[in-house]
Structure 1
Amino acid sequence: MLLASALAATAAEADKPGEAVTAGWILGKLAQPAPMATPFVEVRESRMLKNALRLSGEYRRPQDGVLVRAVRDPYVETTTIHAGQATIERAGRAPRTFSLARAPELAGLQDSFGALLSGDLVALESVYRLRSDGTRQHWSLELTPAEDELARRVQTITLYGQDAELRCIETRMVDEPQPQRTLLASAAEAAPVVVDADGVARLCHRGVASR
């Protein structure tokens, strides 16, 4: 009987990866205490750019409430978001500091990253309407701005992941036809062979249930 119970428990655990996910389950898996860091790769397409721009670097969260985006290639730039302000630093230039009210997409990035990494579902739901999809093996979490100010600039932010790993953030801006995709963690590490937006999209969406 003990063996049968153990086998039943093992089978139940094996079934869990295929279970549908909830926003609460995703946040519980993604929660990480500060300090933390993860590599990123991003390919930007825009009507203002003749060719797609490929960026790589690292996201850092040195302490609660602080998010650092350090670009290392093709140029060096550090953006620090803290206390309602963003500071951009480049070599040979004086740092620029401005209110996040001028860049609601950066405010949204801080809100979403901070809430995700702290596992704070209530904080995330105060800024976005949430919709989860997929299974525990391959999931997505769509964030739609709940406030008019952010919604005027950002349509949706969709997170794609596998198990406890956030692999991609896909941001759709109101005034840009193409989404901006940022690969993280193992997806970013697999990206050196990717040189175009289509390749980034495949890495971003790989294995996630179709919507």
Structure 2
Amino acid sequence: MRHLLTCLLASLLISSPASASGIDAAWILRQLAQPAPSQTPFLELRGSALLKEPLRVEGQYRRPDTGTLVREVRTPYAETTTIADGQVSIARAGKAPRVFALQRVPELADLQASFGAMLAGDLAALQQSYRLQASGTAQRWQLQLTPRAEALARRVRAVTLHGSDGELRCIETQPAKGDLQRTLLGGAAIAAASQRDATALTGLCHADVSR
């Protein structure tokens, strides 16, 4: 469940004062807002002291309508997680889907609401759940998120979004316990498909456009 929570976390917090470059939460939200339907590829890098290199999980996020979020894993296994109509469904080939009410996991419901608020550019809604600190430039910005709710804070210590202009390239999630997890998105995920070098992957995540 922790990975499900962290991988679906693309949420925001309170607005910070604008820097000299004009980068703040409101500006970032305006760049990221997009109507449904939408989709983007992802590459998750799950670190562990037991692994020589991070586990790579590849797939696609889909948002067929404003009320539905789909996470489709294609490699190294096939799994589809769908959040819609107050329910979560997790399906794997050859197995009956696991279905449960979203209200059973309040922090997951909060994540879905935050994800929708981000894509809608609704800063006020995001301020209810998170504190935020924005930094950087239009070409290379960061948005650090800290959960307000105690239930979510027990699972996730902090989340940092990295982007360039209007593209969210990477989400770094620091669980309350365990290793930092990275999810590369869009162009960064495509560029990282055949990349194994840790420094290069970090550069792609951090929107290092000079690479």
Distance 1:50 1:86 in 2: 33
Q: Which position in structure 1 is the counterpart of 2:187?
A: 186
1:6 corresponds to: none
Q: Structure 1 residue 207: deviation in Å?
A: 3.1
* Secondary structure, aligned partner of 2:187: helix
Q: Is 1:147 aligned to 2:149, yes or no?
A: yes
Distance 1:99 1:200 in 2: 36
1:36 correspondence with 2:31: no
Does structure 2 conserve the Cα–Cα contact (< 8 Å) formed by 1:43 and 1:197? Answer: no
Distance 1:123 1:64, change over 3 A: same
| Structure 1 unaligned blocks of 5 or more | 1-17
Aligned residues of 2:164 and 2:207 also touching (Cα < 8 A): no
- The normalised TM-score by structure 1 is 0.81
- Retained in 2: the 8 A contact 1:46–1:52? yes
Q: Alpha carbons of 1:104 and 1:156: their partners in 2 closer, same or farther (altered >3 Å)?
A: farther
Contact 2:138 2:164 in 1 (8 A): yes
Whichever structure has more helix as a proportion of its residues is 1
Q: CA deviation at 1:196?
A: 5.7
Q: For residue 56 of structure 1, what is the aligned residue in structure 2?
A: 58
Structure 2 unaligned blocks of 5 or more: 1-19
Name the structure 1 match of 2:29: 27
Q: Which residue identity does 2:42 align to in structure 1?
A: F
Match of 1:13 in 2: none
Amino acid at match of 2:170: C
2:57 corresponds to which letter in structure 1? L
Identity fraction in percent: 57
Instruction: Give the direction of change, closer, same or farther, for the CA distance of 1:99–1:200 in structure 2 (3 Å limit).
Output: farther
Q: 1:51 to 1:188 in 2, by over 3 A?
A: closer
Q: CA RMSD in A?
A: 2.2
Q: TM-score, normalised by structure 2?
A: 0.81
- Name the structure, 1 or 2, with higher relative contact order (CA <8 Å, separation 6+): 2
**1:52-131 matches, cutoff 5 A:** 52-100=54-102, 106-107=108-109, 109-131=111-133
| Corresponding pairs, count | 190
